Amino acid sequence: MRVGLLLYFLLSVTLAQTKVVLLGTGNPNANPERMGASIAVITNGKPYLIDFGPGVVRRASEAFNDGVEELALPNLTHAFVTHLHSDHTVGFADLIFTPWVLDRDQPMAVYGPRGIKAMARNIMRAYREDIDIRINGRQPQNTTGYKVNATKIRPGVVFDDNGLKVTAFKVNHGEIEEAYGYKFETGDKTIVISGDAAPSESIVEQCNGCDMLFHEVYSLEKFQLKPPEWKAYHSSYHTSTIELAEIATRARPKLLVLYHQIFWGATEEEILKEIRGNYNGAVVSGKDLDVFE
């Protein structure tokens, strides 16, 4: 009995290791307080990034300095891309080369929609001279850590290893044909991430009582002040506070976290008030470097 209890305790400690770090909660606006969209799911001591907007590497370094040791730059070896909009991918070159220069010796494994292979290949071409001088010049540099293994995904399980299963699912993002959300299933958590999405039934289905739902949002009140052409765009590409309240009510996450927030002058408190007026669950406005366990 004592051995059984000990094994149960050790198993519980082993499984209770998942945390989520917000590396970037911003949008295309150049807000220095909010880097481009990027989330790190950390489980069993390893980080897995979702998107790599501008500032991703320095935010990871900042989180490491704040005590998130798993985000040491050489550990940044896996990433999943929701879609290829620039505010979610412009940090790709930084993620490839900066950790390599700072001693990462493993190639990057990147999973994403159609075009991710071409993006990786063209970045390599653009930095061909940099790669050559670092490897063949006087700098003592390894010959593997800059490489990228890019995999085009389809809906379904795209990764299953190290106690982590990652499922990709389609979301509605206007004319973008391949926009994905992701569900991360670890030993102790189920985490769903919307990416950029207008209201999508797939998010309700994938969350279904999940531990954490990270979802984009815009202020409906401030939306009313936008010109018609921007109303048409945002209503077909993104999710309003009222729409998100309805989604979350049906998806039933234990915690709803807002990211990629479009404020248009609204405050965090006003965004939360709009949602809480129609949603009774736990909800927080995410900020860069927030940690959720």
User: Is 5 part of a structural domain of the chain?
Assistant: no
| Cα gap 153→150, rounded to integer Å | 10
Q: Could you tell me if residue 183 is inside a domain?
A: yes
| pLDDT given at position 7 | 40
Structure tokens at 16: 């209770």
Please state, rounded to an integer, the average pLDDT across all residues of the chain: 94
Residue ranges making up the domain that contains 209: 16-292
The 8-class DSSP code of residue 107 comes to P
> For position 282, what pLDDT does the model report?
98
Q: Are 64 and 57 in contact (CB under 8 A)?
A: no
What CA–CA distance (Å, rounded) separates 265 from 255?
A: 25
Residue 1 has pLDDT above 70, yes or no: no
Q: Which two tokens stand for residue 96?
A: 């490839």
Total domain count, the chain: 1
Q: Is residue 46 part of a domain?
A: yes
**What are phi and psi for residue 173, nearest 5 degrees?**
-135, 65
- Judged against a pLDDT cut of 80, whether residue 32 lies above it is answered with yes
Q: What is the pLDDT of residues 149-180, one digit of tens each?
A: 999 999 999 999 989 999 999 999 999 999 99
What is the rounded CA–CA span in Å between residue 192 and residue 182? 6
The CATH number given to whatever domain includes residue 231 is 3.60.15.10
Element (H, E) at 158: strand 156-161
Flag whether pLDDT at 14 surpasses 90.
no
Tell me if 8 is assigned to some domain. Answer: no
Where residue 11 falls among pLDDT bands split at 50, 70, 90?
A: very low
Torsion of the alpha carbons at 214, 186, 184 and 271, rounded to the nearest 10: 0
Q: What pLDDT does 136 receive?
A: 94
Predicted confidence at residue 292, as pLDDT, reads: 98
